[in-house]
Amino acid sequence: MSRNSLSILDNRTGQEYEVEITDGSIRALELRQIKTSPDDFGLITYDPGFSNTASCRSKITFIDGGKGILRYRGYPIEQLAENTSFLEVAHLIFEGELPDPGQLKVWETAIGELCLPPEGIKRIISGFHHDSLPMAMLMSCVAALSGFYPEGLNLTDAAVRRRQLLRLIGQVPALAAYVYRFKKDLPFVTPRRDLPYTRNFLRMVFHASEADYQPNPVLEKALDVLFLLHADHEQNCSANAMRSVGSSRPDPYLAASAAVGALAGPLHGGANEAVLRMLDGIGSKDRVAAHIRRVKGGEVRLMGFGHRVYKNYDPRAKIIKRLADEVFQVTGTNPLLDIALELEKIALEDDYFVSRKLYPNVDFYSGLIYQAMGFPSWMFPILFAVARMSGWVSQWEELVGDKEQRIARPRQVYDGPARRDLES
């Protein structure tokens, strides 16, 4: 009769151990009982990058990379992108359910009432040099909110916690827009509580001398869908940073600033900018085949293809490709799009890439869309942060309510020198 357990034979000692399997996992601490002697610390696992280690239980996002599945709270991303707005999905991720019309109105109002950052944030941004790194500026602003809202440290009061988390969702568009306006040497635009979330953000970024700025509805909808697609993505680097820092119980602003810092890296939030640099470097459609040969020869990387989680077509990439068609009908075609389409066509037909499961990911087309909308490439990670804030705060709230969680403290395999004594 089969048992839901794992038998481990330690060949060093001949001792056999039985470890319970729950939800396809074993408790890492169970391995500590496997020792060669009483003073042996016991076995630990060595897993650089946490490729096969679960640090938490979560009800927020489900990914099956082999099948190309992404779901928020059980809902397929394809259905959500087709039928809901970003703020509806933010409610789903944070509250656990999609809102009905009345709940959505309350949700939108609550976030709108918290959308105005403290006036001192403008002074902080104005203290930077104009060539400062945009994500460093955003990270500093998010961390500074901790000083403006000291009540955020009261983690035991659910109502206080919720207000801080909604404030982060509400204010990050203004912080992002302030960074853009400062870098462009433009006056700051104050957020409006009465406008829809994405429209308000576009107004704060692009408002010029118009009496009443109105974004193109196709572009507004496209950006809203892009925010939705980026709202959460399981235990990625920035979500892990949010949880890891949050495990020591600072306020959520400081944990969120750490998540922004993690997202700033080119291997995370800067990936779509790298795609544009690659397409610029290729230069024209007739040079795509030569670039493919260089990729296969190991000379360069194929940016925007493959994913650490997805070993099938990234479901978000299919949605974004359709969005690109709609956006370019409004903005006009981008010569880089022709290069991208040819690159995708060749790669998807070449066994070298197919056998390695190198399919287009979410970053392959998103940068082209952002660029067509008028965003400079240095804004791409900031746009990512605006979307992902809803996921980060939901991950943080889940962490705070998880009684199994402890302060993050990974083990290491020490391979430095043994004891050495100073010479007398």
Active-site residue numbers?
Answer: 268, 307, 363
Distances (CA, A) of 141 to 90, 162, 164, 390: 22, 20, 15, 17
Closest by CA to 48, choosing from 411, 417, 415, is: 411
Query: How far apart are alpha carbons 360 and 366 in whole angstroms?
Result: 11
Query: How far apart are alpha carbons 298 and 6 in whole angstroms?
Result: 41
Strand partners, 8: 17
Number of CB atoms found within 10 A of residue 317's CB: 23
Query: How far apart are alpha carbons 424 and 415 in whole angstroms?
Result: 26
Phi-psi region of 74 (alpha: psi -120 to 50; beta: other; left: phi over 0): left
392, 239 in Cβ contact below 8 A? Answer: yes
Token pair recorded at residue 97: 């359910």
Token pair recorded at residue 283: 């230069």
